[in-house]
Chain A
Amino acid sequence: MRGLIYKDITIFFKGIDKKLVLIAAGAIILLMVNTGVYAGLFASVMLAMTIGIQNIMSFASDEKASWKKYQLAMPVNAVSVVTSKYISVICTLAVSLAGSVLFNLLSSVAFRSFNITVWGVSTAASVIVPLLWTGICLPLTYWFGFHSAQTMGMIVVIPMFYFIKYFEDGVGFSAMTNSILSYVVVAGIAVVVLFIISMIISMAGYNRKE
């Protein structure tokens, strides 16, 4: 399993598309300029989405190399293969978390405002978003191939867009302050459950044979 985790993490980092980096960087800068004290939060969400997309893109490169055919000839079972994929996704959360801390730090310094709730929500979002994204897309990849996962990945962008819009409009965060922590906890638990279910469905998908 060690080899497979190394493989997935290497693809994640080496396969980073320069165009994706440019688009994400542009969007993050734009968000940070426009959203004032919430800049760190929005930039974290944007980075987390980018991490999710990059994870999905790394699955695409598996398909391009016909890696599964090769992997099936190796002494590794479905549990190792799928678990290593999910572990590698969890490892990439470190990037998302580090980015979140950095963006919030920049935002706090730039706007001279430190809000622990915003920091907390940003941190939670930086973990929840990539997990949610891959939790939905990975089983689709194992069952229907990368393209269906890619389509679904794009659909996940829509609620994210509304989430950002909700805050951008101004009332969102202040209206939610009292209950936001409970939302985050519920969302966190839901994503963990989804991630586990997703793993089981992925294993069944990987085990399928013609």
Chain B
Amino acid sequence: MEKNNILVRDLYKQFDGFLLDHVSFQVPKGRIVGFIGENGAGKSTTINLILDELKRDNGQIQIFGKENTISTVKEDIGVVFDECNFHDVFNTSDIEKILSGIYKSWDSCLYRQYLKRFKIPEKKQIGSFSKGMKMKLSIICAMAHKPKLLILDEATTGLDPVVRDEMLDLFLEFIQDEDCSILFSSHITSDIQKIADYVILIHQGKIIFEEQKDDLVYNFGIVKCGKEKFASISPDDYITHRVTNVSVECLVRDKEAIKHKYKNIVVDNATLEDIMLFYIKGGAA
């Protein structure tokens, strides 16, 4: 029995001025995988390759254990991009008629329930919706055909905190079915920190790490000390460091071990954003 909904191995794609360099990762069943990185790091390119919207130069992509080029696998995938892709002249009934004619498993009752739950007006044209409403509708449409895999490419970017929170709760509900999973690309690391089980950091087309979120959040820490104290810390004990005007900050993999080893040292908790910034910016303050 296949344990991953997505399996990516040695994915390679070259454009002018950009290289996706042997990217490998997996999205296990029943899990939410956060895909983070700065703009232009390769998140959307990877997602477009997974969805077979771009032609890969090399590597392997499997969805539900099948080649991603087989169009029937898309029946079980719900996709939300960073903008609403529905025409302004449509209303929610038009969308229902369109998508029910495309997805065999489209559930009109579920769609109507979601519309009601998220207070999406049924008669109004989409062109008159706010950005938040448009994105809610996109997410509802991605879920109304009961997919096993949700691929979200910056789907919560641009939403206000209240709407984002509603959507994150919906994703957590979706994942209650152990066969379902979510690949959630975002540069809003707080969203990923809130719901993801695993986190993948991509930078300049390369995977920097693929870790369990809890390991990152509970074990990683930031040492803050003066330059003299920093000189006493072994380079093996930290991943990277940055020098600020007043102190030195080091990203450490095991904050408890560091607290034990170095007395009188301040080790703060590291958020996902801190970790991402340390890895991406490295020594730059």
Residues of A within 8 A of B (CB): 1-7, 10-11, 14-15, 61-62, 64-67, 69-70, 72-77, 209-210
B71 and A75 contact, CB distance less than 8 A: yes
A73 and B87 contact, CB distance less than 8 A: no
| Minimal beta-carbon separation of B115 from chain A (angstroms) | 18
Assembled-state Cα–Cα distance A32/B103 (Å) = 47
B71 and A3 contact, CB distance less than 8 A: no
The chain A residue sitting closest to B86, CB to CB, is A65
Assembled-state Cα–Cα distance A7/B101 (Å) = 10
| Minimal beta-carbon separation of B68 from chain A (angstroms) | 11
B89 and A61 contact, CB distance less than 8 A: yes
Assembled-state Cα–Cα distance A74/B103 (Å) = 8
Query: Of residues 1 to 54 in B, which have CB atoms within 8 Å of A's CB atoms?
Result: 15, 51-54
Which of B83, B89, B98, B102 meets A14, CB within 8 Å? Answer: B89
Q: Which residues of A contact B104 (CB under 8 A)?
A: 75
Chain A to chain B contacts (Cβ below 8 Å), 29 pairs: A3-B98, A4-B101, A10-B90, A10-B97, A11-B87, A14-B89, A15-B89, A61-B88, A62-B87, A64-B87, A65-B84, A65-B85, A66-B85, A69-B81, A69-B85, A70-B79, A73-B51, A73-B53, A73-B77, A73-B151, A74-B74, A74-B103, A75-B73, A75-B75, A75-B103, A76-B71, A209-B54, A210-B54, A210-B55
Assembled-state Cα–Cα distance A153/B53 (Å) = 29
B53 and A69 contact, CB distance less than 8 A: yes
| Minimal beta-carbon separation of A209 from chain B (angstroms) | 4
B98 and A4 contact, CB distance less than 8 A: yes
| Minimal beta-carbon separation of B157 from chain A (angstroms) | 15
The 8 closest A-B pairs by CB, nearest first: A3-B101, A2-B101, A70-B85, A14-B89, A3-B102, A73-B79, A75-B74, A209-B55
Q: Interface extent on B, as a size class?
A: 20 to 34
Residues of B within 8 A of A (CB): 15, 51-55, 71-75, 77, 79, 81, 83-90, 94, 97-104, 151
Q: Which residues of B contact A210 (CB under 8 A)?
A: 15, 54-55
Q: Which residues of A contact B74 (CB under 8 A)?
A: 73-75
| Minimal beta-carbon separation of A87 from chain B (angstroms) | 13
Q: Which residues of A contact B90 (CB under 8 A)?
A: 10, 14
B55 and A3 contact, CB distance less than 8 A: no
B102 and A4 contact, CB distance less than 8 A: yes
B51 and A76 contact, CB distance less than 8 A: no
B85 and A3 contact, CB distance less than 8 A: no
B interface majority secondary structure? loop
Q: Do A75 and B72 form a contact, CB below 8 Å, given A4-B101, A7-B98? A: yes
Assembled-state Cα–Cα distance A3/B275 (Å) = 45
Q: Which residues of B contact A65 (CB under 8 A)?
A: 84-88
| Minimal beta-carbon separation of B277 from chain A (angstroms) | 30
Assembled-state Cα–Cα distance A7/B126 (Å) = 14
The chain B residue sitting closest to A5, CB to CB, is B101
Q: Which residues of A contact B86 (CB under 8 A)?
A: 65
Assembled-state Cα–Cα distance A210/B56 (Å) = 9
A6 and B51 contact, CB distance less than 8 A: no
Assembled-state Cα–Cα distance A210/B15 (Å) = 9
Assembled-state Cα–Cα distance A155/B75 (Å) = 41
Assembled-state Cα–Cα distance A5/B101 (Å) = 9
B53 and A209 contact, CB distance less than 8 A: yes
Q: Do A76 and B53 form a contact, CB below 8 Å, given A10-B94, A65-B88, A69-B85? A: no
Assembled-state Cα–Cα distance A51/B91 (Å) = 23
The chain A residue sitting closest to B53, CB to CB, is A72
| Minimal beta-carbon separation of A206 from chain B (angstroms) | 12
Q: Which residues of B contact A64 (CB under 8 A)?
A: 87
Q: Which residues of B contact A69 (CB under 8 A)?
A: 53, 81, 85
